[in-house]
Amino acid sequence: MYTIALLIQKGGSGKTTLAISLATTAAADGLTALIVDLDPQTSACNWHDRRVAANPGAQNPLCLSAQPSRLAAVLREAGEGGIDLVIIDTPAKSSDAALAAAKVADLVLVPCKPQTFDLETVKSTREIIALAGGKPALAILNDVGAVGNRHEQAKAFLQNEGLPVCPYSFGHRVCFGDAVFFGKSATEHDPRGKGAEECRNVYKYTIRIVRKLEQERKRNNGIAKNGPRQARVKAG
């Protein structure tokens, strides 16, 4: 099971939109996905309620509202229940929830608009990631305009802050807001649109990273287990 946490200490940066986009694209890719909504506003769960109301058979992705203190138990139950991908949507201005999510994540995603107010919060977000043990993190630019180079300036700023940036981003598109109203994602609302293409590109890049991290973790665990055993054989 892969676990991705979405963090940034500012509201309106696109965490829930990213969570929905990743989860629905993962479901279309054959994975069983779960969104864990730690935000008291429960925006992701409200989206899921509209989704189920429109299509009572919609069971993938799932969505669950939870408290940060229950996160470990939720993940344990998700693993036992056959969930392949967990996406944790965190609230703004809640370092406790963000830290709890970062600690259990395989990968932290930082959705960020190419705007000053968003970029100013990156430092505090990086501090939370560091407190969580320096988990692998990746910024994803959101709401990128069709003209201008502001996104390139934002990318340079983020990289200078030590935060790698996904080569794919989300544009400033009405399809994201329209899709949410109907309990859908952009890939479902307009499968051939630019927004859907962006969702698929971001998902493919992200899932490659978590799979690579999982392979590295297994390899490192194997080295840690086999190292002492090999040493004893040589000593004998």
* Confidence grade of residue 131 (pLDDT, cut at 50, 70, 90): very high
pLDDT for res 236: 28
pLDDT for res 67: 94
pLDDT for res 218: 86
- Cβ pair 86, 109 in contact under 8 A: no
Section 90-113 average pLDDT: 93
CB atoms within 10 A of CB 210: 17
The answer, yes or no, to whether residue 76 has pLDDT greater than 60, is yes
* C-alpha torsion sign, points 161, 164, 168, 169: negative
* Domain range annotation of the chain: 2-235
Cβ neighbours for 180, distance < 8 A, ≥ 6 positions apart: 17, 20, 47
Residue whose structure tokens are 């944790």: 88
Average pLDDT over the chain, rounded to whole?
91
* C-alpha torsion sign, points 110, 8, 39, 135: positive
Cβ neighbours for 161, distance < 8 A, ≥ 6 positions apart: 122, 123, 126
The answer, yes or no, to whether residue 219 has pLDDT greater than 70, is yes
Q: Which fold has domain 2-235?
A: Rossmann fold (3.40.50)
85: helix, strand or coil: strand
Share of the chain above pLDDT 90, in %: 76
Query: Tokens representing 40?
Result: 């008291």
* Global pTM value: 0.90
